[in-house]
Amino acid sequence: MAIRVLLVDDQPLLRTGFRMILEAEPDLAVVGEAGDGQQALDQVRALQPDVVLMDIRMPRMDGVEATRQITGPDRSGPAKVLVLTTFDLDEYVVEALRAGASGFLLKDAPAAELVQAIRVVAAGEAMLAPSITRRLLDKYAGRLPSGEESVPQPLHALTEREVEVLKLVARGLSNAEIAAELFVSETTVKTHVGHVLTKLALRDRVQAAVYAYESGLVRPGAN
């Protein structure tokens, strides 16, 4: 079955461009469009898309609040949110990730990257671009813990290996890369990642990465 995509952007020309790119792919189907966050909520309820391409800055309701409502506890469907931003240091991107977005992508990304990002998010994975994520977290280092605070209680629930895996997730490594780093199988890594998400009550790898920085487990700019 084709992946059902909802386009959310306040610029009709951009929506048209995205539609042309996505409809050229046999496994993708654009089921609707919205020009602001409120319309996006209405369309998600009516159309039940698999993936929402979500702009950040829009009238009436911005993409952060729309993302929070689409992915929150009262969600009415399975939609995943892939945030689109014009600037790779958009100050709202971190908030969107906290709100439940499964990743973010620059609007000027190559068409092939956009298509692949949608497939990755639809499959339940997170679109975690290490270079952009690290730059975002470095930029907002002043908002993050200094490292002098005590370790958050939830981290004590993790095993030593799970903490290692969380640190590598925060660096943007894939399961295969983590497996190579720790000399274990990808299946073992998937198990560890699952345990981390469950124990910390996190939705996906993106939120795990943000949590690792916010908790002080990983410091911006550190290897």
Q: What's the pTM value of the predicted model, to 2 decimals?
A: 0.73
CA dihedral 179, 109, 106, 197 (to 10 degrees): -20
Q: At what angle do helices 205-214 and 186-199 cross, to 10 degrees?
A: 60
The domains located in the chain, with CATH, are 3-138 (3.40.50.2300), 155-215 (1.10.10.10)
How many C-beta atoms surround the C-beta of residue 156 within 10 A? 9
Q: What is the DSSP letter of 129?
A: -
Rounded distance between C-alpha atoms, residue 5 and residue 20, angstroms: 13
How many C-beta atoms surround the C-beta of residue 30 within 10 A? 20
Q: What is the pLDDT along the chain (223 residues), one digit of tens a residue?
A: 899 999 999 999 999 999 999 999 999 999 999 999 999 999 999 999 999 999 988 888 999 899 999 987 777 677 999 998 776 555 677 777 778 888 888 888 899 989 998 998 888 777 765 556 666 666 655 554 444 545 567 788 899 999 999 999 887 788 888 999 999 999 999 999 999 999 998 877 877 887 887 787 876 555 5
Give me the DSSP letters along 70-88. Answer: HHSTT--S--EEEEEESST
